[in-house]
Amino acid sequence: MSNSNRLCEQVPAFGEEDCESALFRAKWPDGFRCPRCGGLDFYRIVSRGRRVFECRSCARQTSLTAGTILEGTRTPLVKWFQALFLMQTGISATLLAELIQVTYKTAWLINHKLRYAIQVHDEGRPLAGDLQLLGDFYARPATNRPLDPLTYRDEPAVAGASVDPDSGELAEVKIKKIVRRDIQSPYVRHRFVRRIFVEACGRGPFRESSHRDR
Ligand SMILES: [Zn+2]
Protein backbone atom coordinates (compact mmCIF):
# COMPACT_ATOMS: atom_id res chain seq x y z
CA MET A 1 0.00 0.00 0.00
CA SER A 2 1.38 3.41 -0.93
CA ASN A 3 2.17 6.06 1.60
CA SER A 4 -0.62 8.32 0.29
CA ASN A 5 -3.21 5.52 0.46
CA ARG A 6 -2.22 4.77 4.04
CA LEU A 7 -2.60 8.44 4.98
CA CYS A 8 -5.99 8.66 3.24
CA GLU A 9 -7.28 5.73 5.29
CA GLN A 10 -6.44 7.56 8.52
CA VAL A 11 -8.57 10.61 7.71
CA PRO A 12 -11.85 10.44 9.63
CA ALA A 13 -14.98 10.34 7.44
CA PHE A 14 -16.66 13.66 8.07
CA GLY A 15 -18.75 15.82 5.77
CA GLU A 16 -19.22 19.52 5.11
CA GLU A 17 -22.07 19.77 7.66
CA ASP A 18 -19.94 18.15 10.38
CA CYS A 19 -17.27 20.79 9.73
CA GLU A 20 -19.85 23.59 9.85
CA SER A 21 -21.19 22.27 13.16
CA ALA A 22 -17.68 22.12 14.60
CA LEU A 23 -16.94 25.68 13.50
CA PHE A 24 -20.27 26.89 14.86
CA ARG A 25 -19.52 25.35 18.28
CA ALA A 26 -16.03 26.85 18.29
CA LYS A 27 -17.20 30.31 17.26
CA TRP A 28 -20.36 30.50 19.34
CA PRO A 29 -20.07 27.97 22.18
CA ASP A 30 -23.06 29.58 23.92
CA GLY A 31 -25.12 29.91 20.73
CA PHE A 32 -25.24 32.48 17.92
CA ARG A 33 -24.51 36.09 18.85
CA CYS A 34 -24.70 38.93 16.34
CA PRO A 35 -21.33 40.74 16.11
CA ARG A 36 -23.11 44.10 15.70
CA CYS A 37 -26.07 44.13 18.12
CA GLY A 38 -25.56 40.99 20.19
CA GLY A 39 -28.86 39.55 18.94
CA LEU A 40 -29.38 35.86 19.55
CA ASP A 41 -31.77 34.96 16.71
CA PHE A 42 -30.74 34.43 13.13
CA TYR A 43 -31.77 33.19 9.70
CA ARG A 44 -29.55 30.87 7.71
CA ILE A 45 -29.43 32.20 4.17
CA VAL A 46 -27.32 31.93 1.05
CA SER A 47 -25.86 35.25 -0.07
CA ARG A 48 -23.77 35.47 -3.23
CA GLY A 49 -23.24 31.75 -3.15
CA ARG A 50 -22.05 31.71 0.46
CA ARG A 51 -23.94 30.35 3.45
CA VAL A 52 -24.31 33.11 6.01
CA PHE A 53 -26.14 33.90 9.23
CA GLU A 54 -28.35 36.97 9.21
CA CYS A 55 -29.31 38.63 12.48
CA ARG A 56 -33.08 38.83 12.93
CA SER A 57 -32.77 42.14 14.78
CA CYS A 58 -30.38 44.23 12.67
CA ALA A 59 -29.99 42.15 9.48
CA ARG A 60 -26.17 42.08 9.84
CA GLN A 61 -24.79 39.11 7.94
CA THR A 62 -21.86 37.10 9.19
CA SER A 63 -20.32 33.77 8.29
CA LEU A 64 -18.71 30.98 10.25
CA THR A 65 -15.34 31.83 8.74
CA ALA A 66 -15.47 35.62 9.25
CA GLY A 67 -12.47 36.77 11.25
CA THR A 68 -10.67 33.42 10.92
CA ILE A 69 -7.91 32.16 8.63
CA LEU A 70 -10.67 30.53 6.58
CA GLU A 71 -12.36 33.86 5.77
CA GLY A 72 -13.13 34.21 2.07
CA THR A 73 -12.01 30.67 1.21
CA ARG A 74 -13.69 28.91 -1.71
CA THR A 75 -12.25 25.57 -0.71
CA PRO A 76 -14.82 23.32 1.03
CA LEU A 77 -14.42 23.25 4.80
CA VAL A 78 -14.02 19.49 4.71
CA LYS A 79 -10.74 19.90 2.80
CA TRP A 80 -9.44 22.32 5.44
CA PHE A 81 -10.33 19.86 8.17
CA GLN A 82 -8.71 16.98 6.28
CA ALA A 83 -5.60 19.13 5.84
CA LEU A 84 -5.53 19.90 9.55
CA PHE A 85 -5.73 16.20 10.35
CA LEU A 86 -3.04 15.28 7.81
CA MET A 87 -0.68 18.01 9.05
CA GLN A 88 0.04 15.88 12.11
CA THR A 89 2.26 13.82 9.85
CA GLY A 90 4.30 16.83 8.71
CA ILE A 91 2.93 16.48 5.20
CA SER A 92 4.28 18.46 2.22
CA ALA A 93 2.09 20.76 0.11
CA THR A 94 2.66 18.47 -2.87
CA LEU A 95 1.33 15.39 -1.09
CA LEU A 96 -1.48 17.40 0.54
CA ALA A 97 -2.60 18.61 -2.90
CA GLU A 98 -2.77 15.01 -4.08
CA LEU A 99 -4.61 13.71 -1.02
CA ILE A 100 -7.31 16.37 -0.68
CA GLN A 101 -7.47 16.97 -4.44
CA VAL A 102 -6.72 20.66 -4.69
CA THR A 103 -4.12 22.55 -6.72
CA TYR A 104 -0.60 22.83 -5.37
CA LYS A 105 -1.17 26.56 -4.87
CA THR A 106 -4.26 25.94 -2.72
CA ALA A 107 -2.50 23.20 -0.73
CA TRP A 108 0.48 25.48 -0.10
CA LEU A 109 -1.84 28.26 1.11
CA ILE A 110 -3.82 25.91 3.38
CA ASN A 111 -0.58 24.48 4.82
CA HIS A 112 0.83 27.94 5.38
CA LYS A 113 -2.28 29.35 7.03
CA LEU A 114 -2.82 26.35 9.30
CA ARG A 115 0.80 26.37 10.45
CA TYR A 116 0.60 30.08 11.16
CA ALA A 117 -2.61 29.64 13.20
CA ILE A 118 -1.10 26.75 15.16
CA GLN A 119 2.05 28.79 15.86
CA VAL A 120 0.09 31.81 17.09
CA HIS A 121 -2.09 29.59 19.27
CA ASP A 122 0.96 27.77 20.63
CA GLU A 123 2.87 30.96 21.48
CA GLY A 124 -0.16 32.29 23.32
CA ARG A 125 -0.17 29.27 25.62
CA PRO A 126 3.23 29.00 27.35
CA LEU A 127 4.00 26.02 29.52
CA ALA A 128 3.04 26.48 33.14
CA GLY A 129 3.69 24.82 36.46
CA ASP A 130 6.60 22.49 37.14
CA LEU A 131 8.81 22.57 34.04
CA GLN A 132 11.61 20.36 32.84
CA LEU A 133 13.96 21.28 30.02
CA LEU A 134 16.26 19.29 27.79
CA GLY A 135 18.76 20.60 25.25
CA ASP A 136 19.68 18.14 22.52
CA PHE A 137 20.35 17.73 18.82
CA TYR A 138 17.84 16.82 16.15
CA ALA A 139 19.10 14.58 13.33
CA ARG A 140 21.92 13.14 15.45
CA PRO A 141 22.06 9.33 15.17
CA ALA A 142 21.17 7.62 18.44
CA THR A 143 24.52 5.81 18.42
CA ASN A 144 26.50 9.06 18.74
CA ARG A 145 28.06 9.60 22.11
CA PRO A 146 26.92 12.80 23.88
CA LEU A 147 30.31 14.47 23.57
CA ASP A 148 30.87 13.76 19.88
CA PRO A 149 31.73 16.98 18.00
CA LEU A 150 28.94 19.03 16.50
CA THR A 151 28.47 18.24 12.80
CA TYR A 152 26.81 20.34 10.12
CA ARG A 153 23.75 18.04 10.20
CA ASP A 154 23.10 18.42 13.91
CA GLU A 155 20.28 20.84 14.64
CA PRO A 156 20.31 22.17 18.21
CA ALA A 157 16.87 22.15 19.79
CA VAL A 158 15.46 22.61 23.22
CA ALA A 159 12.44 20.74 24.53
CA GLY A 160 10.44 21.83 27.53
CA ALA A 161 7.74 19.89 29.30
CA SER A 162 5.29 20.74 32.01
CA VAL A 163 4.85 18.00 34.54
CA ASP A 164 1.67 16.97 36.28
CA PRO A 165 2.40 17.62 39.98
CA ASP A 166 0.30 14.65 41.13
CA SER A 167 1.32 11.88 38.76
CA GLY A 168 4.74 13.28 37.78
CA GLU A 169 3.90 12.50 34.15
CA LEU A 170 4.40 14.86 31.21
CA ALA A 171 1.42 17.11 30.64
CA GLU A 172 2.49 19.18 27.65
CA VAL A 173 5.64 19.44 25.54
CA LYS A 174 7.09 22.25 23.42
CA ILE A 175 10.10 21.98 21.15
CA LYS A 176 12.03 24.91 19.68
CA LYS A 177 14.87 24.89 17.21
CA ILE A 178 17.63 27.24 18.31
CA VAL A 179 20.68 28.69 16.61
CA ARG A 180 24.04 27.02 17.25
CA ARG A 181 25.69 29.88 19.07
CA ASP A 182 22.87 29.78 21.64
CA ILE A 183 23.46 26.18 22.60
CA GLN A 184 27.26 26.52 22.55
CA SER A 185 27.12 29.16 25.25
CA PRO A 186 25.55 27.84 28.47
CA TYR A 187 24.78 31.39 29.54
CA VAL A 188 23.03 32.39 26.30
CA ARG A 189 21.18 29.08 26.13
CA HIS A 190 20.07 29.35 29.71
CA ARG A 191 18.76 32.87 29.11
CA PHE A 192 17.04 31.68 25.95
CA VAL A 193 15.21 28.80 27.55
CA ARG A 194 14.20 30.97 30.48
CA ARG A 195 12.71 33.48 28.08
CA ILE A 196 10.62 31.04 26.09
CA PHE A 197 9.57 28.67 28.81
CA VAL A 198 9.74 30.38 32.15
CA GLU A 199 9.48 34.15 31.91
CA ALA A 200 6.70 33.67 29.35
CA CYS A 201 4.84 31.73 32.01
CA GLY A 202 5.62 34.27 34.68
CA ARG A 203 6.35 31.53 37.18
CA GLY A 204 8.62 28.64 38.06
CA PRO A 205 9.87 26.42 39.48
CA PHE A 206 12.31 25.68 36.73
CA ARG A 207 14.50 22.61 36.54
CA GLU A 208 16.86 21.78 33.73
CA SER A 209 16.87 18.03 33.62
CA SER A 210 19.96 17.36 31.51
CA HIS A 211 21.87 18.76 28.59
CA ARG A 212 24.82 18.13 26.34
CA ASP A 213 27.21 21.05 26.25
CA ARG A 214 30.49 21.02 24.47
ZN1 LIG B 1 -27.70 42.15 14.97
Amino acid at position 37, single letter: C
Selected residue with higher pLDDT from 22 and 129: 22
Domain extents in the chain: 3-12+33-123, 130-211
Residue 186 confidence (pLDDT): 62
What is the helix (H) or strand (E) element at residue 53, kind and residue range?
strand 50-55
DSSP per-residue letters across 125-187: S---SEEEEEEEEET--TTS-TTSPP-TT-EEEEEEEEE-TTT--EEEEEEEE--HHHHHSHH
Residue 64 confidence (pLDDT): 92
Selected residue with higher pLDDT from 31 and 171: 31
Structural contact between residues 152 and 135, judged by C-beta atoms closer than 8 angstroms: no
Ligand 1 center from residue 49 Cα (angstroms)? 21
pLDDT at 111 over 50: yes
Ligand 1 center from residue 28 Cα (angstroms)? 14
For residues 189-203, average pLDDT: 54
Ligand 1 center from residue 64 Cα (angstroms)? 15
pLDDT at 114 over 70: yes
Ligand 1 center from residue 57 Cα (angstroms)? 5
pLDDT at 110 over 70: yes
69-78, pLDDT tens digit by residue? Answer: 999 898 999 9
149-190, pLDDT tens digit by residue? Answer: 666 677 777 777 778 778 878 887 777 777 766 666 666 556
Q: How far apart are CA 76 and CA 177, in angstroms?
A: 34
120-145, pLDDT tens digit by residue? Answer: 887 777 777 777 766 666 666 666 56
| Burial (0-12, 13-18, 19+ Cβ within 10 Å), 79 | buried
- Look up the pTM and report it: 0.66
